[in-house]
Amino acid sequence: MSSALPAQDDRRFVLALGCPDRPGIIARITSFIAEFGGSIMEAGYHSDADSGWFFTRQAIKASTVPFGLAELRERFAAVAAELGTETEWQLLDSGARRRAVLLVSKDGHCLHDLLGRAASGELPATIEAVIGNHPDLAGMTEAHGVKFHHVLFPKDPAERGPAFDEVRSLVDSYHPDAVVLARFMQVLPAELCAHWAGRAINIHHSFLPSFVGARPYHQAFARGVKLIGATCHYVTAELDAGPIIEQDVTRIDHADDVGDMVRQGRDIERVVLARGLRWHLEGRVLVHGRRTVVFT
């Protein structure tokens, strides 16, 4: 499945950066871009008083850069060094094809939504493959021309190591920019969380940090909540506690049962996951510790 790439005139080199805050950071970055005649088409800034860190995202019109991305990275590395050894940064090309691999179980609503968005060009990535621990979603996946891999997971969690090894090997063979747990109902081992750190994205069907773990709608119903939600977050070894990318909620009332909550929650899950994945692929999400800065 091919992704829709921007027209040449819309192509951007996107710089995302975080570093300890101090005077002169913006001036240094913008003067660097001005030195070679670069045109900044989009810019976002955030200074976090609690952590003392500064964050920025700059989208530079690629046609105004008189050299390629590799040289731009090489030149900017010197600027990043001036800003301090703790500086974290990346430079992306919006014209380069981005890749995603999706992990699924039996629920297909998020998978169907992402496949449709990719097919229509809404998602700035190619869905390279879908990997499921059940075969149920193979037909839906293959109808979109995407390869489906079924990996059999033993019932005993203690025996699932080889299955996760197979999943890792399959995912890594596609060299993805994002590994999306699209209602993949398995807890990734800590080693795999570390291996895919900053790339593994999960959709959890509750408004975290409330109702972590399994059956959150049942937990919410038991507590009589009036709002239910969904959370898109990066995956870490701590269950459902990774840095949050996006969230949303919808209102329910006393007449709604668990089935109603599941049905309404699925609508939120689709939208929240699509937003979070898109922002990740566009280099709009900067992670610092357990928090994120998202330049939407």
Average pLDDT over the chain, rounded to an integer:
94
pLDDT surpassing 80 at residue 7: no
Q: Is the pLDDT confidence value at 144 over 80?
A: yes
Domains of the chain: 8-93 (3.30.70.260), 99-294 (3.40.50.170)
Task: Kindly report, residue by residue over 38-86, the tens digit of the pLDDT.
Answer: 999 999 999 999 999 999 999 999 999 999 999 999 999 999 999 999 9
- Whether the per-residue pLDDT at 3 is higher than 60: the answer is no
Q: How far apart (Å, rounded) are the C-alpha atoms in residues 139 and 72?
A: 43
Q: Determine the pLDDT at residue 8.
A: 60
171-176 long-range contacts, Cβ below 8 Å, gap at least 24?
Answer: 171/101, 171/103, 171/131, 171/196, 174/99, 174/101, 174/128, 174/129, 175/99, 176/99, 176/100, 176/101, 176/128
3-state secondary structure of 276: helix
This prediction has a pTM of 0.92
Quick one: pLDDT at residue 1? 56
More confident residue, 22 or 254: 22
Q: Is 235 left (phi over 0), alpha (psi -120 to 50) or beta?
A: beta
Q: What average pLDDT does the segment 225-248 reach?
A: 93
**What is the mean pLDDT of the segment spanning 155-171?**
96
Give residue 218's pLDDT band: very low, low, confident or very high (50, 70, 90): confident
- Provide, rounded to the nearest whole percent, the portion of the chain with pLDDT above 90: 81
Lowest mean pLDDT among 6-20, 173-187, 203-217, 228-242: 203-217
Look at residue 4 in the predicted model and tell me its pLDDT. 57
Q: Residue 209: which pLDDT band, with cuts at 50, 70 and 90?
A: confident
Range 106-126 average pLDDT: 95
Query: What one-character-per-residue DSSP string does 98-129 give?
Result: PEEEEEE-S--HHHHHHHHHHHTT-SSSEEEE
Percent of the chain with pLDDT over 70: 97
Q: Average of pLDDT values for 186-209? A: 93
Which residues belong to the active site? Answer: 240
Q: How far apart are CA 195 and CA 143, in angstroms?
A: 31
Tokens of 180: 């999306």
Mean pLDDT is lowest, of 179-193, 248-262, 275-289, for 248-262
Measured CA to CA, the distance from residue 11 to residue 60 in angstroms comes to 9
